[in-house]
Amino acid sequence: MPRNDPTTTILQHGLEKRMTELASAQTKVAQVYQERCTNALQRYLDAVNAASAPSSKDSIHAMSPPELWRDAGAYWLDFTQRSILFWDTLRQRGNNWLEHEKAGKPPLLDFEWETIADARTFERPANYALVRIVPPDGTKTDPNRRPFVIIDPRAGHGPGIGGFKQDSQVGVALKAGHPVYFVIFFPEPVPGQTLADVSRAEAGFLRIIGERHPKTRKPVVIGNCQGGWASMLLGAIEPDLVGPIVINGAPMSYWAGNDGENPMRYAGGILGGTWPALLASDLGAGTFDGASLVENFEYLNPANTYFEKFYTLFSKIDTEPERFLEFERWWGGFFLMDRQEIKWIVENLFVGNNLSQGQAEWSEGRAYDLRSIQSPIILFASLGDNITPPQQAFNWVADIYPTTEALKANGQVIVGLMHKSVGHLGIFVSGQVAKREHTQIVDLIDYIEHLPPGLYGMLVEEQKTNGSVLYDVLLTERRVEDLQVLQKYGRKDEVPFETVEAVSEMLASTYETFVHPAISAMATPAGAAMRRAVHPQRVQRWAVSDINPFLWPLGGMADMVRANRAPRDNEGPMAAMERWTAAITSASWDFYRDLRDASVENIFFRTYGPASIGMAAADTGAVAEELVDVRDTPLVKEALSHIEEGDLTKAIVRAALLLMKAGTGRRRLSAMKRARELVGKDIGLLDLPAEAARAIIREQSYIVDLEPVKALLALPKLLRTSDDRRSLLDLLDRLEGRVEANAKQIALFGEIRRLLSESGTEGGAKSGPMTTRRRAQDKVPPAAPTTTDARGRAHERPIH
């Protein structure tokens, strides 16, 4: 081939470009690794220095020899007593675990409950059941109020975390007067059950609840962690059954995260994809042991797993055992999954990330489409959550709605709430979070269905008055495009995960062909039960219990210690030495974790990064996507065709949306409550079914967003009679001065009055249209025309 052949030149340029990109990426990976190691060392040194800082009251030089002797004696007596009580608490943990196992691992709810339906008896059985929470004494619920349904995570543990204590999601909903139902599951799956069977069972539960509460609005569905995406699956396949959906700490976009913060997302690539889960299921005779998932969670924070939670118990042995034992009862309840279930979860979520891409099939040729969800969605995540980071909780919104216009065009309302520090489990079990965030979520539910489509940020504001704390909710309109700031590198670091998916499919296919037949033939239920019994998560519990004969004297010794307890204060050199040792131990574990995670991340990107650059280069020749005008989407097109049509209710909604558009984009829950008290019944939305009310709000929001001037000018045409016009004017009179309004909104109040007054006088509608149009254009800026491509991305459309 000639040296100057154009094809050769293009190929050479392409190769050189890819090599340059590869070299640049590898350099960046090396830099990040070096920075992380340096920062880890600095954090360790800072922790050591902080632990070693001298304290005058702890100084050994400030004490005489007799004082040192007395301090040492008191400390060692206390240390010995604490040690005995510590091991006795672990013995109680083991005994509790054995009792829970013998009882069949019932739900650990802090409320009485009764079974309503057992899905094991359904046509497509699943190991799920629906229970009704019995309100405690002194708490009354109204059967005509909207019911709440809570779905707990099935991620290794048993059900109960959503109602683990009185101050919980269950407790908050009960105190608000709502009937509460809980979706529980049993320790062992029905053989052959799938995630689709689970979704069908949960849909059946909602039908039963609808029959029990025929006069209420559709139930609120609350999903915790893995129960969050289960709730979204339910809303996708049965949108007509589901009311507002609240998902707490729920991973939805599994490839998302930040380097140095979210090591769990690399597990699929480091382990080679789905085949380890398939191997574990085959060794379990067709079932996957949830204890392995729990071990993965504990892997994230070895300092807490191996030292801090036990040292906290040891150092606070007089007050901590009750809380420790309560939590460990739930943490140690390991449940099983069917092989098909864990395979679907790992393939479609952990490794494939197919749910947010609309490719997760629940039956052949039928995929879960999250855009089918019609109900409002509340997303609750935390910056302190290292299991489900905010990127995984929120990025799916940008995956299926790349622009704000696309989200609005689908009629969707999404509210995002971000906590600053609470950890993953704290989202569900923290009493403070229940009193603050979950209480406000329950309060917002009655108003969220009357929000116009869009993305909103939710902020819980706190005000202390006269020793009491009052909360309010501030909703601020956001843009989907703003979600990009949650993740570094513009999400380019997600590209290697596509390579992981391809490698996983290849290895899983090889495993299924050559290894699975042999192992499944040899594995027996008895052997699987034996392997589960010796799992480290179980051994550490039953080995320290009364079935261990060496621990039989421990209970009597602990009783003697409690009868003669001699606790000491935390001052003195011996106590200081203990705190120093604990701090150094924790810092050392954290140092190990930081180096380990940095190494894992470095290996991941060095392994999959080069291949992902090649895959990205292969996609550069893709055909540009066709631009689609938002106005041509069915819902929007239908709405714009009815600008001059409507009734009093639609006119009031349009006026309210015009006033909101002229505002700051912020809405306070207290203001919404006040407005509903003033004019709620007059609007007519409260008397309509939720779907009909949402349809009116959605239609009018499209009109106001895209044609604000025409929407304002056509307002009098929706008011056919003088009584209708008078009703709207009276409503404006009641609102003005009683709700917060800026200068633009005050001017718009006057403009609407003038329009209605002119249309109400004989010939007034024709007396000055040009003047009225100019006033309207001054008050409501026209919306910029936009188009979207085939995936919903918005582009500014030239104005000719």
**What distances in angstroms separate CA 341 from CA 324, 333, 337, one per listed residue?**
32, 19, 6
More reliable by pLDDT, 655 or 22: 655
Residue 124 confidence (pLDDT): 95
Mutual angle of helices 439-448 and 669-683, in 10-degree steps: 30
CA dihedral 759, 760, 761, 767 (to 10 degrees): -10
Residue 497 confidence (pLDDT): 92
CA angle 513, 518, 524 (to 5 degrees): 135
Residue 52 confidence (pLDDT): 86
Structure confidence by residue, pLDDT tens digits, 261-295: 888 899 999 999 999 999 999 999 999 999 999 99
Residues in contact with 235: Cβ distance below 8 Å, sequence separation at least 6, in sequence order: 221, 242, 245, 370, 372, 373, 374, 375
| Encoded tokens for 14 | 């392409």
CA dihedral 186, 190, 196, 198 (to 10 degrees): -20
Enumerate the β-bridge partners of residue 470: 463
Residue 476 confidence (pLDDT): 96
The gap between the terminal CA atoms of the chain, to the nearest Å, is 50
Cα–Cα distance, 554 to 546 (Å, whole number): 9
Cα–Cα distance, 775 to 314 (Å, whole number): 73
Instruction: Tell me the average pLDDT across 60-85.
Output: 87
Range in 411-425, 593-607, 681-695 the model is least confident about: 681-695
Residue 669 confidence (pLDDT): 94
CA dihedral 371, 374, 376, 378 (to 10 degrees): -40
Look at residue 765 and tell me whether its pLDDT is greater than 70: no
Other Cβ atoms less than 10 A from the Cβ of 152: the count is 29
Look at residue 645 and tell me whether its pLDDT is greater than 90: yes
Instruction: Identify the CA nearest to 269 among candidates 351, 387, 187, 148.
Output: 351
CA 730 to chain centre: 43
Domain with CATH 3.40.50.1820 in the chain: 113-258+341-514
Long-range contacts formed by 546-549: CB under 8 A, 24+ apart: 546/91, 546/94, 546/95, 546/98, 547/94, 547/98, 548/94
Enumerate the β-bridge partners of residue 469: 464
- Do residues 554 and 84 lie in contact, with contact meaning Cβ atoms separated by under 8 Å? yes
Look at residue 764 and tell me whether its pLDDT is greater than 80: no
Look at residue 785 and tell me whether its pLDDT is greater than 80: no
Sole residue written with tokens 């269905």: 449
Residue 613 confidence (pLDDT): 67
Residues in contact with 339: Cβ distance below 8 Å, sequence separation at least 6, in sequence order: 278, 281, 282, 284, 286, 287, 288
CA 212 to chain centre: 29
pLDDT classification of 658: cutoffs 50, 70, 90: very high
Structure confidence by residue, pLDDT tens digits, 160-170: 999 999 999 99
| Encoded tokens for 509 | 């296919």
Residue 57 confidence (pLDDT): 53
Residue 600 confidence (pLDDT): 95
Look at residue 616 and tell me whether its pLDDT is greater than 80: no
CA dihedral 128, 130, 136, 138 (to 10 degrees): 160
Using H for helix, E for strand and C for coil, what is the string for 350-418? HHCCCCCCCCCEEECCEECCHHHCCCCEEEEEECCCCCCCHHHHHHHHHHHCCCHHHHHHCCCEEEEEE
pLDDT classification of 143: cutoffs 50, 70, 90: very high
Range in 365-369, 412-416, 788-792 the model is least confident about: 788-792
Sole residue written with tokens 């589960």: 532
Range in 207-216, 571-580, 757-766 the model is least confident about: 757-766
Look at residue 365 and tell me whether its pLDDT is greater than 90: no
User: Across all residues in the chain, what is the average pLDDT?
Assistant: 88
CA 13 to chain centre: 45
Cα–Cα distance, 378 to 442 (Å, whole number): 11
| Beta strands at 245-248 and 287-289: parallel, antiparallel or unpaired | unpaired
CATH 3.30.70.100 fits 113-258+341-514, yes or no: no
Residue 768 confidence (pLDDT): 43
Range in 17-21, 489-493, 697-701 the model is least confident about: 17-21
pLDDT classification of 214: cutoffs 50, 70, 90: very high
Residue 628 confidence (pLDDT): 58
CA 537 to chain centre: 27
Cα–Cα distance, 212 to 191 (Å, whole number): 30
Q: Please give the share of the chain, as a percent, with pLDDT higher than 90.
A: 70
Beta-strand ranges (E) seen in 500-576 are: none
Look at residue 551 and tell me whether its pLDDT is greater than 90: yes
**What distances in angstroms separate CA 77 from CA 207, 565, 567, 736, one per listed residue?**
62, 9, 8, 72
| Encoded tokens for 357 | 């891409």
More reliable by pLDDT, 461 or 762: 461
Query: In residues, how long is the chain?
Result: 800
pLDDT classification of 499: cutoffs 50, 70, 90: very high
Sheet holding 786-789, edge to edge: 627-629, 786-789, 794-796
Structure confidence by residue, pLDDT tens digits, 726-756: 999 998 888 887 777 888 988 999 999 999 8
Cα–Cα distance, 97 to 291 (Å, whole number): 14
**What distances in angstroms separate CA 422 from CA 304, 385, 419, 432, one per listed residue?**
15, 7, 7, 10
Instruction: Tell me the average pLDDT across 480-509.
Output: 88
Instruction: Tell me the average pLDDT across 18-34.
Output: 82
Side chain identity at 17, as an amino acid letter?
K
